[in-house]
Amino acid sequence: FVMLFLLGLDSAFSFVEAFLTVLQDAPLFEGVGRWKICLALTVVAWLLSFIYATDAGLNFLDTIDYYINFVMLLVGGFETFAAGWIYGIEDQIRSLGAIVVFTYMATTFGSITLACCLWFGISGDSAVWAGFVGLILSYATGMVFVAYLMRKNNETASWKSMFYELMFKNVMDLKEDLSAIVGWIPTLWALLTKHFIPPAVVILFANLCDDETSTGDKVFGHYGGYPFKPYQILGILCVVFVGFLFTSSLVFPRMYAAFLKPDDLETKGDAAKAEVSILRVVSNENDATYSGAAAIDMEESGSLKPVDEHLDSVSGTIEA
């Protein structure tokens, strides 16, 4: 009993500490004492936990525990996708082109999704073979198209350098960046983070969604035979909430601007100032280079058209 009690306390510490650190670093809570934020979090969590102290508490616990499996798969999938596929994507796009990067991404996860549809959508022993055949054919076809796009965009680079840039460089850069802080990280971690764990999570999530009860209904929404209201709907809302957090951060990232650390805001501000300074320097250089030619064209044509065209181009550059 003491071991389980201490284990529960340790879990509570880890949950509260992670949430507390994010809130404390946010400008929204600047100047608010750490103990005050911690007190507010623990009081809210304490109030929410009363649902498990009722006569139906074990039923709620059983139902929520099942749907937490979906939440953990979503969280793990989003984390590894961000680390293996989103980190350094700007450099990949500059080097290879956006169409190559996103076509490769669609090829990888599209083939896995097709295989899952065949594995869990077809009944009988043929489903396994159909899934693997669909996976191999769709992935091979997609990679041929990716190779064609890479060669079309860059006719001088070697195949080795382009495929390394596309498949490994960003996650290897992440490994090096993390190694500078936490110490040595094996290369296998980087390879698994990008090429194994995200597809595996997709397969596990599809398998969990396809699970059926003894009556033939999907377990999702019918777990344990508990009524849909309030048990099933509460568990489903937990899954929807996590999906909403991820989707909204992609579509409306400004929603979470209040949680950015002050040094992150300063870094972004400095980068923006640097870009504006570069634009000004380039614009000044273009003005100096152009002024002589514009004057000659104006004398020859007897109009201000060359100068007007130049001013239009400069204003367009500044707006961009």
**Per-residue confidence band for 194, with pLDDT thresholds at 50, 70 and 90:** very high
Residue-level pLDDT at 30:
83
Residues 298-319, mean pLDDT to the nearest whole number:
52
Encode pLDDT of 153-187 as tens digits: 888 899 999 999 999 999 999 999 999 999 999 99
**Per-residue confidence band for 58, with pLDDT thresholds at 50, 70 and 90:** very high
Q: How far is CA 287 from CA 307, 311, 314, in A?
A: 10, 9, 9
**Per-residue confidence band for 290, with pLDDT thresholds at 50, 70 and 90:** very low
Amino acid occupying residue 50: F
For residues 160 and 147, the answer to whether their CB atoms sit within 8 Å is no
Encode pLDDT of 133-148 as tens digits: 999 999 999 999 999 9
For residues 96 and 152, the answer to whether their CB atoms sit within 8 Å is no
Q: Is 312 exposed, middle or buried (0-12, 13-18, 19+ CB in 10 A)?
A: exposed
Encode pLDDT of 15-36 as tens digits: 888 889 888 888 888 888 889 9
Residue-level pLDDT at 315:
52
Whether the CA torsion 224, 228, 231, 233 is positive or negative: it is: positive
Residue-level pLDDT at 294:
47
**150 pLDDT higher than 80:** yes
